């Protein structure tokens, strides 16, 4: 008797891509070429390299996570619309309706803050009431906050050049700007895991740390008038900043995400919210993957920071407080991953360790800038 088996032939990665996938890639590379043609005269060789690396990077992201495509399209439409409204004059920010109330950098970031807080409320409402609708609304609001936050940052980048070509810079240079970046990165990684694991119950926990960041951002803005765009200090006038800071905050964001997931793990393992949270295995897996991604990027950021320090200050490492605490963060998560991979670390111990790691990360991120003097002290209370 002849036995037949049904099987699906293996297809290579590129063979699985559709016409839409390739069209998406073509649009990104065309946009990179347009930017080079339009603004290449103002870029050095390193900035041109960053531009061309961005195209394949976002192509790969869009191929593997489809929502990235819609996000980039919406951001392009909103930011270009805002730039067109400015017409080359910063005075338009208070004269054009859409700029004043929606798309100027400060307006968009305020909308981001409001939407994140509202998203947190709906996520918690959905968790407490066992409501899929509440959690779904929370997810939509979180996406809307991400859109407004990134729009605000892109417009702020343009606004800095309207002030003066010597003032213009990527908006990742001070506490105000990096708190926005932190909120965006943490939210995006959460939304990715939300889709991958098909659960929205973790939004209630992860959005808490984002809302805390938003609360600090608003307080800091009022206290220091931090929303005003300022020229870069000499040490920050470097192309290294464009890659070091985002890589660093992918680490901070994912470490914070893992810590908030660990809170959910500890609650469930102690008998709370048993039927409202994902399985412990899912929580453990999200925690591990977030820390693994964060550690990889934090390692890259630390290496980039050393190279930047050598260029700016003449030495790769000076035991500045920021450098010292970055090393402490790195060693903490290196030990966590070592114990996980080599000794099978799981359960409450791993969750408590990830939660304590948030305290270490918070001090390295915020405390050093606020309370310790050093070469990296660009923000003070």
Can you read off the two tokens belonging to residue 350? 């791993």
Nearest to 323 by CA among 353, 313, 234: 313
Domain contains 34: no
**Cβ contact 103:87 at 8 Å:** no
The predicted pLDDT at position 208 comes to: 97
Cβ–Cβ < 8 Å for 120, 184 = no
Closest CA to 154 of 129, 136, 115, 180: 180
Domain count, the chain: 1
The answer to the question of residue 299 being in a domain is yes
Count the neighbouring beta carbons within 10 Å of the beta carbon of residue 296.
15
Q: What residues contact residue 367 under an 8 Å CB cut-off, 6+ apart? A: 325
Pull the structure tokens for residue 14.
């590129």
Helix (H, G, I), strand (E, B) or coil at 32: helix
CB 71 within 8 A of CB 146: yes
CA triple 277-290-200, angle to 5 deg: 30
Tens digits of pLDDT across the chain (381 residues):
444 445 555 567 778 889 999 999 999 999 999 888 887 777 778 778 888 888 999 999 999 999 999 999 999 999 999 999 998 889 898 889 999 999 999 999 999 999 999 999 999 999 999 989 999 999 999 999 999 999 999 999 999 989 988 888 889 888 899 999 999 999 999 999 999 999 999 999 999 999 999 999 999 888 888 888 888 887 778 888 888 999 999 999 999 999 999 999 999 999 899 889 999 999 999 999 999 999 999 999 999 988 888 887 777 888 888 888 999 999 999 999 999 999 988 999 999 999 999 999 999 888 887 776 655 555 555
pLDDT of residue 211: 97
Say what angle helices 321-343 and 280-313 make with each other, to 10 degrees.
Answer: 140
Which position has the token pair 């070429």?
Answer: 33
* Category of 250 on φ-ψ map: left (φ > 0), alpha (ψ -120 to 50) or beta: alpha
Does 316 map to a domain? yes
- DSSP characters over 17-37: --HHHHHHHHHHHHHHHHHHH
Local structure of residue 276 (DSSP, 8 states):
G
**Locate tokens 């790691």: which residue?**
357
How far apart (Å, rounded) are the C-alpha atoms in residues 89 and 101? 17
- Smallest Cα–Cα separation from 94: which of 112, 81, 78, 106? 106
Q: Is residue 211 in some structural domain?
A: no
110 found inside a domain = no
> Is residue 356 in some structural domain?
yes
Backbone angles phi, psi at 366, to 5 degrees: -115, -45
Q: Is residue 254 part of a domain?
A: yes
- CA dist 153 and 83 (Å) reads 12
Contact predicate 248/255, CB 8 Å: no
**Computed from CA positions of residues 304, 31, 166, 232, in that sequence, does the dihedral angle turn out positive or negative?**
negative
Residue range(s) defining the domain that contains residue 330:
250-381
For position 3, what pLDDT does the model report? 46
DSSP per-residue string spanning 39-83: HGGG--HHHHHHHHHHHHHHHHHHHH-THHHHHHHHHHHHHHHHH
Domain-located, residue 75: no
């Amino acid at each position: 008797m002849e036995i037949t088996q049904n099987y699906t032939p293996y297809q290579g990665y590129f063979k699985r891509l559709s016409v839409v996938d390739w069209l998406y890639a073509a649009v990104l590379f065309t946009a990179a070429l347009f930017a080079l043609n339009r603004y290449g005269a103002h870029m050095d060789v390193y900035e041109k390299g960053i531009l061309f690396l961005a195209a394949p990077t976002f192509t790969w992201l869009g191929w593997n996570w489809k929502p990235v495509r819609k996000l980039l399209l919406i951001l392009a439409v909103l930011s270009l619309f805002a730039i067109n409204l400015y017409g080359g004059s910063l005075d338009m920010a208070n004269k054009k309706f859409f700029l004043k109330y929606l798309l100027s950098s400060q307006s968009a970031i305020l909308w981001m803050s409001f939407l994140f807080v509202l998203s947190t409320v709906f996520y918690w409402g959905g968790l407490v009431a066992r409501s899929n609708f509440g959690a779904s609304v929370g997810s939509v609001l979180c996406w809307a906050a991400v859109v407004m936050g990134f729009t605000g940052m892109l417009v702020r980048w343009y606004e800095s050049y309207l002030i003066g070509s010597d003032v213009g810079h990527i908006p990742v240079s001070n506490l105000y700007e990096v708190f926005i970046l932190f909120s965006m990165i943490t939210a995006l990684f959460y939304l990715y895991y939300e889709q991958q694991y098909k659960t929205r119950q973790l939004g209630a926990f992860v959005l808490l740390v984002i809302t805390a960041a938003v609360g600090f951002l608003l307080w800091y803005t009022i206290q220091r008038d931090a929303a005003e765009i300022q020229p870069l200090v000499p040490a920050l006038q470097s192309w290294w900043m464009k890659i070091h800071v985002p890589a660093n905050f992918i680490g901070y964001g994912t470490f914070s995400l893992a810590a908030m997931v660990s809170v959910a793990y500890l609650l469930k393992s102690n008998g709370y919210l048993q039927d409202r949270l994902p399985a412990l295995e899912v929580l453990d897996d999200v925690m591990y993957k977030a820390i693994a991604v964060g550690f990889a990027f934090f390692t890259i950021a630390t290496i980039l920071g050393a190279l930047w320090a050598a260029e700016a200050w003449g030495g790769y490492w000076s035991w500045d407080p920021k450098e010292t605490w970055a090393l402490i963060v790195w060693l903490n998560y290196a030990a966590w991953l070592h114990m996980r991979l080599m000794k099978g670390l799981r359960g409450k111990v791993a969750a408590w360790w990830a939660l304590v790691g948030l305290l270490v990360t918070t001090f390295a991120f915020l405390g050093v800038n606020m309370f310790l003097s050093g070469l990296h002290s660009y923000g003070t209370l």
